[in-house]
Structure 1
Amino acid sequence: MLVMITIWKKIDLIKKIFLGIVLGGILGIVMPNVKVIGLLGTLFVGALKAVAPLLVFSLVAHALSQTQKGQKTNMKMIVFLYLLGTFAAALVAVMASYLFPINLILSDVTAKTDITPPQGVGQVFQTLLLNVVDNPINALATANYIGVLSWAVIFGLALRHVSNSTKDLLKSAAEVTSKVVTWVIGMAPFGIMGLVFSTVSDNGLSALKNYGLLLFVLVGSMAFVALVINPIIALLVMRTNPYPLVFQCLRESGVTAFFTRSSAANIPVNMKLCEKLGLDSDTYSVSIPLGATINMAGAAITINVLTMAAVHTLGVQVDFGSAFLLSIVAALSAAGASGVAGGSLLLIPVACSLFGIPNDIAMQVVGVGFVVGVVQDSCETALNSSTDVLFTAVAEKSAWKK
């Protein structure tokens, strides 16, 4: 037994996760009724989501408390890259929808009646602003990352003026929280085995066969952004071959994010990868939690592809100006997706309203989103989370050349 434990500890985490994927898929096919296996996945994601808000708050507050006036950082460049990447992804989704027009069978989709989408862009930003000033305790309890991030920034800046002993206490809290998350991440292979088991045993591929083209456009757009658009942006900034960095981010961040389906839960993985890349901890301890909140290229793609599918289905003509406006709305709305209950799917009615599509039809499109969500949400999170590390590294590597 001790020999097996020793061997297990020596295996790389990615290889362990791959073993979990394979075993979860096999168990999902062979014994789909043994639901206790799926409980491992529920417990794993639950544990990550429980500790992630504390991690975001402690890391950001600690990082900002250590900064000094005039200290050089790359945050402006990182935020610019986040916004540029999200807008570029939204444009890619529109172009893909023109090349591969999708017609949905909306009458066969049951709309979600227990959720309420925002009524317009104004309401999205109103919700976003209210989340910024949410009670900090409530923000932590409800995983309101917009609120957690805003209060972490405020407390971090205020703590710059306290004694070093107080700063050391905050540093210890951040280190302890990170250690707890490391323990949870160590259980990822078992948790992912449970997640894969649940997906295979509950859904299989039958639920997705009628939405093949939609999934092709969604996943294809995300892959194009990850493998073409992001590398182009990185090349323009770094002036060197970006693909080794791109592939490393996808392999070491995107894989785990694909199965956890939570950018916030993947923060510890991204932090460890940034450390491995030798990046400045004062920068990535802020940029990674920030990216998990506002860097939403995958969400922008989801919003635009499903909105354009509704437009094509209803025969609405969309000119370039309207498509460009849709991309702006999708990019800005996606940045606030984590502050809206339901995430990117519930922002689809906002985008649909630009073309006069009634809410009942838009909600049926949301229903389609929930059907393909097994694959869409995983790919979306993988793109979002891996890009957090990529753009953080790109901004810093560009600074190295100055």
Structure 2
Amino acid sequence: MEKKLGLVPKLILAIIVGILIGQFTPLGFVRVFKTFSTFFGSFLSFFIPLMIVGFVVSGIAKLTEGAGKLLGLTAVISYVSTLLAGTFSYIIASTFYPKLVSGISSSLDFTGKDVNPYFSIPLKAPFDVTVAIVFAFMTGITISYMRNQGKGETTFTLFSEFEEIITRVLAGFVIPLLPFHILGIFAELTYSGVVFTVIGVFLKIYLCIFAIHYVYMLIMFSIAGGLSKKNPFTLIKNQLPAYFTAVGTQSSAATIPVNIQSGLKNGTSPEIVNFVVPLCATIHLSGSMITLTSCIMGILILNGMPFSLGLMVPFIAMLGIAMVAAPGAPGGAVMAALPFLFMIGIDADGALGSLLIALYITQDSFGTAINVSGDNAIAIYVDEFYKRYIKKSIVTYKTNNLS
């Protein structure tokens, strides 16, 4: 059976080939790839509002399924964890990244000077991003309310199937062509003379991302160990099989069976593990948030753009919701983030948006591994609540009724 090359190796290969093309070929050849990148960027700008509607409406509507206190508690903890991860990443990045790029940002130009496409295809979005966001939240919340009243199933099915259409376009067109888009971007950056500076800076930033990942995982399991009175390092050891599975698959969904086994080894109640781990595979993305925030901060600082707390916190808060609807494919989180980059001054279909995609996806698997690790920490939090309040009250109720 022929083994297909994964997305990350393809992207790395595309970056290498793009650098070689930009370094050793004439402008006319570089412009061929610039033409493709320009078209692909235009398609992204057309596709992004549809992605918001397709993913966010269905994602919000689905969040109300299931049950009661445990669902609400898990959702709140997951969202808070994702926000804290992004804020923690922002604090580290704003403190240390300016030192990493000191004296560099003023000399960089990401616009691809002297590189123009041979032609461009005018492709406008059907509606703008703000309209898509308002419509998606309004519709998703309303469908969710209607379903709780026993209505709205037809509308829910319609948007669920539209979500599937968007997912198929993403998986069958956008993701497969992404390496060629990245190739064009890196050929352009190399021809412009900035690519080696960018790579040198981001190798340092990647090391910072790894450090933030592991510190955050240690914090989550330390809290879990404190609540459950278990050794946090034993909990982390039990998590390793799921961690490395996520590194290999780049998918929280594909790691669910192994992650459930890790949760059971921690002594978490089976009913809680079976409920929390699959749910958090969709709604808890602390590792992805750390990676995205770090990469975005690197791009902003490297390009001399503003990165104040007041600018980033609303973006992180919105991203924590938007990524709930991210598809389970590699790179899903960064694709879900694209519609909201305008909030921090990044053009999603421009060179900086493309650079973010490349930087994020080459590190995506480790963010996913932190996501799934955090899922089991949250399972312990929820389990302790379940044992102390819900299960105990059920036992008391049964005992009183039997007597």
Unmatched segments (≥5 aa) in structure 1: 1-6, 113-138, 254-268, 312-324, 347-365
Within the alignment, does 1:158 sit opposite 2:145 as a pair?
Answer: yes
Whole-angstrom distance in 2 between the partners of 1:92 and 1:388: 17
Offset at 1:39? 7.0
Offset at 1:89? 1.0
1:287 aligned to which of 283, 286, 297: 283
Offset at 1:93? 1.8
Match of 1:18 in 2: 9
Change in 2 beyond 3 A, CA 1:54/1:71: same
Match of 1:52 in 2: 51
1:299 aligned to which of 279, 293, 298: 293
Match of 1:76 in 2: 76
Change in 2 beyond 3 A, CA 1:271/1:218: same
Whole-angstrom distance in 2 between the partners of 1:16 and 1:307: 27
Within the alignment, does 1:181 sit opposite 2:167 as a pair?
Answer: yes
Offset at 1:86? 1.5
Secondary structure at 1:141 match in 2: coil
Change in 2 beyond 3 A, CA 1:336/1:184: closer
Change in 2 beyond 3 A, CA 1:380/1:11: closer
Match of 1:398 in 2: 380
Secondary structure at 1:222 match in 2: helix
Within the alignment, does 1:225 sit opposite 2:197 as a pair?
Answer: no
Whole-angstrom distance in 2 between the partners of 1:285 and 1:177: 18
Match of 1:63 in 2: 62
Change in 2 beyond 3 A, CA 1:328/1:249: farther
Whole-angstrom distance in 2 between the partners of 1:210 and 1:24: 14
Pair member with larger Rg: 2
Change in 2 beyond 3 A, CA 1:211/1:388: closer
Whole-angstrom distance in 2 between the partners of 1:80 and 1:47: 32
In structure 2, give the amino acid aligned to 1:90. Answer: Y
Is the CA contact (8 Å cut-off) linking 2:242 and 2:372 kept in structure 1? yes
Deviations 1:58-97 (A, max 9, x none): 4224314534544534112111211221122123224424
Secondary structure at 2:215 match in 1: helix
Range with bigger deviation, 242-251 or 199-208: 242-251
Is the CA contact (8 Å cut-off) linking 1:60 and 1:152 kept in structure 2? no
Whole-angstrom distance in 1 between the partners of 2:257 and 2:128: 29
Within the alignment, does 1:204 sit opposite 2:190 as a pair?
Answer: yes
Offset at 1:101? 7.2
Change in 2 beyond 3 A, CA 1:55/1:208: same
Secondary structure at 2:292 match in 1: helix
Q: What is the identity percentage for the equivalent residue pairs of Structure 1 and Structure 2?
A: 7
Is the CA contact (8 Å cut-off) linking 2:295 and 2:356 kept in structure 1? no
Offset at 1:223? 3.5
Match of 1:379 in 2: 359
Whole-angstrom distance in 2 between the partners of 1:331 and 1:298: 13
Whole-angstrom distance in 1 between the partners of 2:7 and 2:304: 41
Return the structure number with greater relative CO, CA threshold 8 A, min gap 6.
1
Deviations 1:315-374 (A, max 9, x none): xxxxxxxxxx9668744554357686634356xxxxxxxxxxxxxxxxxxx9xxx98776
Cα root mean square deviation, aligned = 5.1
Whole-angstrom distance in 2 between the partners of 1:50 and 1:333: 17
Whole-angstrom distance in 2 between the partners of 1:189 and 1:377: 11
Whole-angstrom distance in 2 between the partners of 1:96 and 1:331: 18
List aligned pairs for 1:337-376, cutoff 5 A.
342-345=342-345, 375=355
Unmatched segments (≥5 aa) in structure 2: 112-124, 225-231, 261-273, 320-336, 385-403
Is the CA contact (8 Å cut-off) linking 1:58 and 1:152 kept in structure 2? yes
**Number of matched pairs:** 311
Is the CA contact (8 Å cut-off) linking 1:62 and 1:156 kept in structure 2? yes
In structure 2, give the amino acid aligned to 1:379. Answer: L
Change in 2 beyond 3 A, CA 1:243/1:43: farther
TM-score, normalised to structure 1, is 0.56
In structure 1, give the amino acid aligned to 2:171. Answer: I
